[in-house]
Amino acid sequence: MTTADEYLAQALDKYERNRKSDRVFVNVAVEKTHTAVVKLEKELAEVEAAGIIECRRKRIPGGMIEKFKLLSPEAAYQRLGRVPSWESSANRLEGLKEGAEEGLRRILEEIESSWSRNVAWVGSDVRLAPGDTEDLGNAVKIARELVRLDKAIDYRTLSLAAGCSSKALEHSEDLVAVVAAALSGRDRDGRSAREFLGELGAEKLSQAVFVAAPKSLPVSYIGLPPEEIRTFKFQTADYILSIENWVSFVRYAREVRDNGIVFYSGGFPSRSWRQAYLDVVTQQPTATAFHWGDIDEAGVRIASSVLGIAQQVGLKVAPHQMSRRVAEAQSGSVPRKERPAIQIPALATADLDDLWRWLMSPEGKPLEQESLDPISPIS
């Protein structure tokens, strides 16, 4: 900073962060040249004479100004032609707040509270700089369109349908997820922005659904378009198994060759994956649905989410190789030292509920799925 007005702007920044304080001080850096020092000292003296600041000098004869105290914020705003942050934030958000849904209104109020102090709003993996209404406005439009459409759609088509640029969702993925959660009333349950948006229907591009079915396929596994999987005729299977991690899925597909239909779920299932899975389990009313994943908080939630789909059509469901006994039998499974209190979610089965409670206890031992060899749930 080289001018008095630049220093005065810094003083207002500090003031806006804490308007209750009457002790707003700004340190003045030593300029590199004598000419710059004289110029800055003269400007600061003029501001002091106007009653806006009170300068403090070094305690030596002819000491230079080392800091100043802000005396009149009102006069400082007038001198700089600057609108106070609490007024500008209200003005910027006025259009978005008008007619806003209850969940969105709560977020906008949080944002306005931060922006009114001239600080960024920080949400779930999101940092929104004061005045960034362009990204916020785009996020609101995209989230509203996603909730309204209530169907699977790719990122760029959704962005354009919302009246934004084709890459708007990719640019503001985290923020859109926050707004979409508020508008839909759904809990993210620890899911990443991409996983949560995928469950609502938005995917960067609909991915193939990988399936293994030894009695129906001439290869160990294939990838099918999710919207076309309903046209594929699987033989009647003894069971349906979904597997969270890719390596475990590939090993299972190659090593276990019995009469099952095996899906790679890839973490929290997207909307298109859920529909494809539902299409298949609906065709297999006598099968039991199993899920095999990591023994940890996310793994339990994923298992409950997938098995809940099968429950919708009346299939018996159960976790596979996901239990306290399995985790404790592995030498690589160790308790965690610290464990935050997490509310028990609604889970698909009593077995998953018991596993969750154990994982949340001091004795709980998470275990990665890849630590286990694939075995059939009906062996």
Name the pLDDT band for 255 (thresholds 50, 70, 90).
very high
Distance CA 279, CA 356 (A): 29
- State the CB neighbour count (10 A cutoff) for residue 141: 19
Asked whether residue 104 carries a pLDDT value surpassing 90, the answer given is yes
Helix, strand or coil, per DSSP, at residue 108 = helix
CB 355 within 8 A of CB 323: yes
Q: Which fold has domain 209-371?
A: Rossmann fold (3.40.50)
- State the CB neighbour count (10 A cutoff) for residue 206: 18
Domain coordinates of the chain in residue numbers?
A: 4-80, 85-203, 209-371
Instruction: Please report the pLDDT score of residue 21 as a whole number.
Output: 83
Instruction: Please report the pLDDT score of residue 344 as a whole number.
Output: 63
**311 CB-contact burial (10 Å; exposed 0-12 / middle 13-18 / buried 19+):** middle
**319 CB-contact burial (10 Å; exposed 0-12 / middle 13-18 / buried 19+):** buried
Asked whether residue 164 carries a pLDDT value surpassing 80, the answer given is yes
Name the pLDDT band for 166 (thresholds 50, 70, 90).
very high
Q: What is the mean pLDDT of residues 258-275?
A: 91
Name the pLDDT band for 333 (thresholds 50, 70, 90).
low
Instruction: Please report the pLDDT score of residue 150 as a whole number.
Output: 87
Instruction: Please report the pLDDT score of residue 33 as a whole number.
Output: 81
Asked whether residue 235 carries a pLDDT value surpassing 60, the answer given is yes
Contacts 24+ apart (CB under 8 A), 58-64: 64/28, 64/30, 64/37
Instruction: Please report the pLDDT score of residue 339 as a whole number.
Output: 56
Instruction: Please report the pLDDT score of residue 63 as a whole number.
Output: 78
**122 CB-contact burial (10 Å; exposed 0-12 / middle 13-18 / buried 19+):** exposed
Instruction: Please report the pLDDT score of residue 379 as a whole number.
Output: 82
The reported pTM is 0.67
- Per-residue model confidence as pLDDT tens digits over 6-64: 999 999 999 998 888 888 999 988 777 888 888 999 999 999 999 999 999 888 777 78
Q: What is the mean pLDDT of residues 208-222?
A: 94
Q: What is the mean pLDDT of residues 174-200?
A: 90
Asked whether residue 298 carries a pLDDT value surpassing 60, the answer given is yes
Distance CA 170, CA 179 (A): 15
φ, ψ of residue 56 in degrees (nearest 5): -120, 125
